[in-house]
Amino acid sequence: MDDAFKTALAGLEAPETQLTELPFSFLSVLPITGASVSTLGDFLGSQTVSATDEAAAWLDELQFDLGEGPCWDAMRWAKPVMESELRGRSGAERWPAFARAAQTGQAASIFAFPLAVGGLRFGAIDLYSHHALRLDQVQTSRASAMAAVVARRVLRDRIDELEVPDESTLPPFSRRKVHQATGVVLAQLDIDADEARLLLHSRAFATESSVMTVAEDVLAGRIVFTRESGAIEVDS
């Protein structure tokens, strides 16, 4: 792990790092021109959370308006999307409207990495370059690792912003159930406890329920978390 990557990861994980600073970390590790962090779809809405420059934000806006592009594909497929020839035939075949509209900009290559926690997919990191380039396996792996950290930061920030109660504010008995449900989700998805708690809170926000209600449904088997479908309700 080289110093730049190690420093970038530490910066992304630092509580004092603001959301507006997140995309700049990618510039310190990868040979790209700009980057953006965006949420997509109904859960958190489609919006640019932060961007390194106006061009990166503009590429996001095009994809929001057109409903196609690398960020949508990265989120839907839950894997990196790489396009080194956005202005060429390859880009036009993948995203006819987006690639045509992007011709007026300066992006020659574009890459997207999903924002996902467990089975919950809610956005993407978009990276672009003025010059045509390809990201190698090491660069792709590092960008994916950074995107995973950004995903937790963005989701946690949005939950806090929407004032979904933390389980630490619940009475002891209720808190015990939330901890038990966290363990169930952790086992279902093979993720860490922090991500499992984020998924419980996200489900509470999405369904306008309390964290306690979601926890009880998980413990009763009425809600099951999967990587493919996120949280699914099981008929009793």
Is the pLDDT at 13 greater than 60? The verdict is yes
* Strands annotated E in the chain: 34-39, 47-51, 81-83, 109-117, 120-129, 223-226, 230-233
Is the pLDDT at 234 greater than 90? The verdict is no
Q: Give me the chain's average pLDDT, please.
A: 88
**In this predicted model, which residue has the larger pLDDT, 184 or 51?**
51
**Residue 135's closest CA among 153, 159, 109?**
109
Instruction: Let me know: does 133 contact 165? Beta carbons within 8 Å.
Output: no
Tens of pLDDT, residue by residue over 114-141, are 999 888 899 999 999 999 999 999 999 9
Return the pLDDT at 90: 84
Return the pLDDT at 169: 58
Give me the residues paired with residue 124 across strands. 38, 114
Return the pLDDT at 78: 93
d(Cα 78, Cα 120) in Å, to the nearest integer?
10
Per-residue pLDDT, averaged over 209-234, amounts to 82
**In this predicted model, which residue has the larger pLDDT, 169 or 87?**
87
Give me the residues paired with residue 23 across strands. none
Phi first, then psi, for residue 33 (nearest 5°) are -95, -40
> CA-based Rg of the chain, rounded to a whole angstrom?
19
Per-residue pLDDT, averaged over 10-22, amounts to 93
Return the pLDDT at 184: 85
| CB contact set of 47 (below 8 Å; sequence gap of 6+) | 38, 39, 64
The beta-carbon contacts of 216-220 under 8 Å, at least 24 apart in sequence, are 216/177, 216/181, 218/181, 218/184, 218/185, 219/177, 219/180, 219/181, 219/184
3-state secondary structure at position 86 = coil
**Residue 223's closest CA among 214, 233, 235?**
233
3-state secondary structure at position 11 = helix
Return the pLDDT at 5: 94
Return the pLDDT at 129: 97
**In this predicted model, which residue has the larger pLDDT, 56 or 173?**
56
Return the pLDDT at 171: 57
Percent of the chain whose pLDDT exceeds 70? 91
In the structure encoding, which two tokens stand for residue 135, read together? Answer: 């990201």
Q: How confident is the model at residue 182 (pLDDT cuts 50, 70, 90)?
A: confident
Return the pLDDT at 236: 46
Is the pLDDT at 109 greater than 50? The verdict is yes
d(Cα 216, Cα 15) in Å, to the nearest integer?
30
Q: How confident is the model at residue 166 (pLDDT cuts 50, 70, 90)?
A: low
DSSP string covering 135-201, please? --HHHHHHHHHHHHHHHHHHHHHHHHHTTPPPGGGS-HHHHHHHHHHHHHHHHHHT--HHHHHHHHH
